Amino acid sequence: MYEFELTTQQQLLKEAIHSLGQSVIRPQSLGWDRAKDIDQGFLRNFYTMSSALRGSDNPLEDFNEGPKVRDPKRISNTNRTAAVGAEEMAWADAAIMLSLPGPGLGAPPIRNSGTPEQKERYFSIFRDMSEQLRWGAYGLTEPGAGSDVAGIRTSCVRDGTHWVLNGRKCFITNGGRASWVVIFATVDPSLGRAGHRAFVVERGTPGFSVGKIEDKMGLCANETAELVLEDCRVPADALLGGESAYQSKEGFMTAMKTFDNTRPLVAAMACGIGRAAYEYATEFVKEHYLLGRPLPRYAAIAERLARMARRLEGARLSVWKAVSMADHGVPNAREASASKALAGQVATQVCIDAIEICGAHGTLREDHALLEKWFRDIKVYDIFEGTGQVQRIVVSRRLMEGLERF
């Protein structure tokens, strides 16, 4: 049903990003990691280059349009192209992909659920970033609720022409520098998802502030922030989709469908990091071992490398299936969760295997030793966008749907 070969355009994109990653990004990767920041000038130049690669300098073409009426005779390649690009970017340096200017994870809920006025208002600020870079963000995770979305406790209370928000969000990518954040809150925690609402809260709104910037183990060059809402008053028109969108659970579920698109991209990034570690270990072995020699240890190393390659290939194919289903307009919640659960585990184990193959060399924090950085970076890919454990629960529930209870 689905093609697993790249189109000419996708292959060219992959090669262009790979070349840029190898010649420009990789040489600066460790410096960014240690500085815990990426130079703004580089981000501006890279954003311009990425626009050229997309063939567009208008981000509204990517984000402002809502769900389209699908032509059954025309199959989109948007999601798979994004997955190909995500893997190559992560192969170069995962932190830079997460740090790119633009609406980020805040785009899908606005695109899927926002009114035309909201789309124009919140996306138009990205039309021209020649003078000032801007970011959007997605605020769902809380200290007591991450993968268990039903557990969010940030409250929202209607007060005349405004809503009043109170709560804390944590681990928000680009949250400290975002021009606006899609904030999820609840009118009543006992209602579960039926009580959830999504708001777009703009920077500078009274009662909305940035807490601490996290000092993380991995992805150090990417900003991750705590956001605080204390009697934060937002206008009624900041409610994503308007009141009518929440007359049923469908409004909230539409906003949450972002995960069906983003989880495969996170999985693709994990594949990119895993592939980088695998290639590093392979080159190390070529330089230090003669695998043709009849020693059991060398045979074990060759087998481990082959196993790493097989598992990465399987994880990549699971990603491509999930994104291809999305491009065909086929519901892919199970496959999106499956790809996320598989790729996070596989890439983590590949990084572990690579370090064990390289021995002490793999743990060094020297200018040329990227393997240690990738090992720190990869762990979060089994955690954010829904932990691997939760993804496996999602998959199992989908598999059990329709089965009789014995």
**What percentage of the chain has pLDDT greater than the value 90?**
58
Query: pLDDT-derived band of residue 174, with 50, 70 and 90 as boundaries?
Result: very high
243 is catalytic: no
How does strand 155-159 pair with strand 162-173? antiparallel
**pLDDT confidence of residue 4:** 78
271 or 326: which leads in pLDDT: 271
**pLDDT confidence of residue 250:** 60
| From-to residues of CATH 2.40.110.10 in the chain | 108-247
Rounded mean pLDDT of 197-212? 96
- 305 has a pLDDT exceeding 70: yes
Superfamily of domain 108-247: Butyryl-CoA Dehydrogenase, subunit A, domain 2 (2.40.110.10)
- 345 has a pLDDT exceeding 80: yes
Rounded mean pLDDT of 202-224? 96
Distance CA 69, CA 216 (A): 42
**pLDDT confidence of residue 61:** 45
Is 89 in contact with 16 (CB distance < 8 Å)?
A: no
| From-to residues of CATH 1.10.540 in the chain | 8-102
8-102 topology per CATH: Butyryl-Coa Dehydrogenase, subunit A; domain 1 (1.10.540)
Options 3, 230, 385, 401, the catalytic residue: 385
Burial class (CB in 10 A: 0-12, 13-18, 19+), 18: middle
CATH of 256-400, one of 1.10.8.80, 3.30.70.20, 1.20.140.10, 3.40.50.1820: 1.20.140.10
| From-to residues of CATH 1.20.140.10 in the chain | 256-400
**pLDDT confidence of residue 261:** 83
| DSSP reduced 3-state for 73 | coil
**pLDDT confidence of residue 69:** 44
**pLDDT confidence of residue 52:** 60
Distance CA 256, CA 109 (A): 7
- 220 has a pLDDT exceeding 70: yes
